[in-house]
Every structure is written in structure tokens, then in C-alpha cells.
Amino acid sequence: MATVAVPKVHKNFINGEWVEAKTGRAFEDRNPAHPAELIGIFPASSQEDVDEAVDAAQEAFKKWRLVPAPRRAEILYRVAETLVKRKEELARDMTREMGKPLSEARGDIQEAIDMTYYMAGEGRRLFGQTVPSELPNKFAMSVREPLGVVGMITPWNFPMAIPSWKMMPALVCGNTLVIKPAEDTPLCTHNLVQILTEAGLPTGAVNVVNGMGPEAGAPVVSHPGVSAVSFTGSTETGRLVNQACASSFKPCHLEMGGKNIILVMDDANLDLAVEGAVWGGFGTTGQRCTAASRVAVHKKVYGEFLDRFTARVKALHVGDGLDPETEMGPLINETQLQTVMRYVQIGRDEGAKLVTGGHRYESGPLAEGWYHEPTIFSDVAPNMRIAQEEIFGPVVALIPFDTVEEALEIANGVTYGLSASVYTRNVNLAYRAMRDLEAGIVYVNAPTIGAEIQLPFGGKKATGNGHREAGTAAIDFYSEWKTLYIDYSDRLQRAQIDSADLG
């Protein structure tokens, strides 16, 4: 008789120890491909747990900020080395917990590896400025200082990459952390923090509080001992985070929704554009803030593109992400599945043409999981809700256009501004699109997904509040400037007053 594995009971990580939540309550973490499979049980935390975590982070900050940045970076380097060694097992955990195909999970881990190596390198930079003083015998420079305790709220769609985007630059700058991971994917954060601990991160520098947003996330954001907050999630929740931080003038980084577009011009390489639209629209089951949920196609090639795109999408292999043949996995949970189904009905009601898909899998081996068919709507008007609102699922709206001006108007005619793409062989048109598209990230002859960690990541309008993840832009958020003047003239010198006399 087969034995059933007992699910692992996990804990919060506070002040270097794995501890139970004060509430005594817990929640289940299940495999979206097979919801009957219980991945683990995690604590449902509250304000009291957050208080302990912030206290530990504040105490650790006193010492961590004084550790030379190159020494902090050496710890991150060891973390990256361990991530490389454990990449496959970490990826399999991620696929079981989040549902994305194993190849994508490996990419998620690789992004964490890349970010960790990159920020380890920043430990020997963290550049300031030295500038000439306007007065003689006076030295002027600026240096970066850490903020203190940073609160982090992370999403489930990139459950190791996004925590690494936030944690690694914050740590190398000398901050300490309290992170509340998404309740759908807490195991990935658990694994990352375990590796940080093994690498020698001091006690209390990183603290993990698991739980739901209102009970565990909101107290992190509003805690007076938290000096700054970094949030990735929906625009609606981001607005609440922003409001909670505003009353105390707390720095706040928001990375929120997107309604991204691929523009296919009449001179585009259609084979390349189709592959880009498939990957952009259905990679991670459309559950990316950068997903290409809109594809606007020039009317001269609209019919041909639609035929090729439809054939490719109908051929997608949908299934368990651990199956090497799988190209698209399940949605994260039943709630998200119901959201996608609701938007499909909205599209039908609005008069868009359902070309393929449109249903959850209700029979066969996929019926037990949270699977939805890859779905295409054609002849979509730009003002339809399915072309305006973020669906976060495998639904792509095709929109025809006549002119470049119309294409740009369609692209910019949404509340979001994260990522956009244009397929064209016309260099003049490509540069015009790069200039005029209202997006924080623009691709030419590539889909709307695929950002690299060495450049800023983020968007405009309702997508963000001006800050950026990744690259040196992340360092800008997780540190603040201190300007230093050293006068060695041995006399009083008055800037702007005495300097005028020197002329």
C-alpha cells in the first residue's frame, strides 16, 4: 500500500529562528495543477508577529549598516553560488507551488541568481559623487546610506525572482528586512531565506512573516518602525499601500498592473511576431504584469496574422508544469480562474469574436486543476473592457488598425504604462515607437516580456509611482544621499557669499 507524504509544517522566520505565529492559525499551500496535493502548511500571522519581526530587524540594523558593503556583498555572492547549485530542486518546488512550466521556473531561479550576483558586484561600487567646491581648501562629496528596516510585499507570479529584486539591493545597501510573501507561494521565499541564512546573513537581518494581506501585510506597511516599503501587486492594493505610507512620509516603491501591447506593423516578420505574441500572451499562463494581453495588427496583415496566431495557440500543450512537454500551466488558484472566466464572458457580451478557447477544462486529466484554455478574441475595439482592464490570465485581444498614428493611440489609450512592443523592419518607425509609446519598457521585434536585471524595470501611469526595480535604479530606492563638506582652510568660509568675492 502506497504511503502518503505528510505535508511539511512551516514557520515564520524572526530574529534568526523559525517560530510559530502568535495567532496559532495556519493556511494551506496547494499545487494549482493538482489542488489535492498539499505543498505545505504556513502560519497565518498578525500584528503581533509583525511587531516582533520589525523589532528584530531594527536591532540587527544597528550592526548590519556598519558592515562594510564589500563584506555584505560577499554574503550575497555565496547566496548566488548556492542558488546555482540548487537551481533544479528550487525550480521543481516552484512549479509544484505556482504551476508555471519547469523551464519557466528555471528562468525564475536564474533571474534570482543574476540579480544576486549583480548586487554582490554593487558592494564594491555604491557610487557617490565627488565634485569641486566653489571655495578653496574645501572638499565636497556625497555618499549613500541605508534607510533602515524595509518592509516588502511580494507577489506569487515570480516567487523567487521578485523577492530577490527587492531583498538583494536592500541588503547590499545595508538595510534589514521584513518580508511578507504571497500566500500562494510562501515556500519559494522560505527556500530563499534559508539560503541567505546558510550564507552567513546575520541574525535579524531578514525576517519573514507569512499570512494574508489585511492581517500580515497591512501591519508591515503601516508599522512605524518600517522606514520604507516596496510592494509588487495589483494597482488597487498598491493605492492602499501608498495611502498608508503617505501619512508618515514613508518612501514607497510600487510596482503594479499592466495592460501591455504588441504592435504588428504591415512590414513585420509575421513568423517572429506570432511567436512573440504567443510567448507574450500565454507565457506564465498570462499571469505576468508584462503579459501581452493586447495585440494590435495592421489591417494589411491582420487576417494572415490571425490565422497563424490561432493555429499556434490551438497547438499549445497545456498541462502540469513538471511535464517537459507543457507549454502553459494552470492558473494560480480558483479565484483567478473565476476572474478569467468572468472576463471571457465580458468579451462575449461586448461583441468581440471568440476565436479559440474561452472555457475552463471540465473533463479529462486537467479538470482537477485550475486550468483555462488559451483564449483569443478578434475584432476587439480599443475601448472594450477586455482591451482596457488587466485580466492576468491566458486571454489575448486582437485589435486591427490602419495607421501608425492609430496604433500609437491604441497603445497609449489605457491607464497602465509598463511594457510595449513593436514588430517592424522600418528603423524610422521603430525609433518613433520607442519615443512615443507611453511605457517604462519598450521592445523592438521582441515580446513584452523578457526584462534583464541590469536595467531599470517599471512603468508609468497606474503601473507605478516613479521608482524602479533592478539595475542601479534599485540602489537609488534602497539608499538615501548624505552630502559631506570638509573644510580644511582653518577659517570661516561662507558658501555663495565668500565665493562671489573670489571672482
Given a contact cutoff of 8 angstroms between Cβ atoms, the answer to whether 70 and 124 are in contact is yes
Given a contact cutoff of 8 angstroms between Cβ atoms, the answer to whether 464 and 256 are in contact is yes
Q: Which residues are catalytically annotated? A: 255, 289
Neighbour-count burial for 416-440, b at 16+ CB within 10 Å, e otherwise: bbbbbbbbbeeeebbeebeebbbbb
85 contact partners, CB below 8 Å, separation of at least 6: none
43 contact partners, CB below 8 Å, separation of at least 6: 10, 11, 12, 20, 21, 23, 25, 26, 49, 210, 211
How many C-beta atoms lie closer than 10 Å to residue 475's C-beta?
Answer: 18
The CA distance from 73 to 168, in Å, is 9
Q: Choose among 412, 419, 408, 425: nearest CA to 452.
A: 419
Whole-number CA gyration radius for the chain: 25
Please provide residue 25's backbone torsions phi and psi, each rounded to the nearest 5 degrees.
-95, 165
Supply 346's cell numbers. Answer: 465580458
The CA distance from 490 to 241, in Å, is 49
Supply 370's cell numbers. Answer: 485550475
Q: What count of Cα atoms within 13 Å lies in the side-chain half-sphere of residue 346?
A: 17
The CA distance from 309 to 292, in Å, is 13
Q: What count of Cα atoms within 13 Å lies in the side-chain half-sphere of residue 160?
A: 36
Q: Cα dist. 497→139, 317, 485, 487, 500 in Å?
A: 17, 73, 16, 15, 6
Which residue spans within 244-374 are E strands per DSSP? 252-255, 261-264, 294-298, 353-356
How many C-beta atoms lie closer than 10 Å to residue 142's C-beta?
Answer: 13
In DSSP notation, 411-439 reads HH-SSEESEEEEE-S-HHHHHHHHHH--S
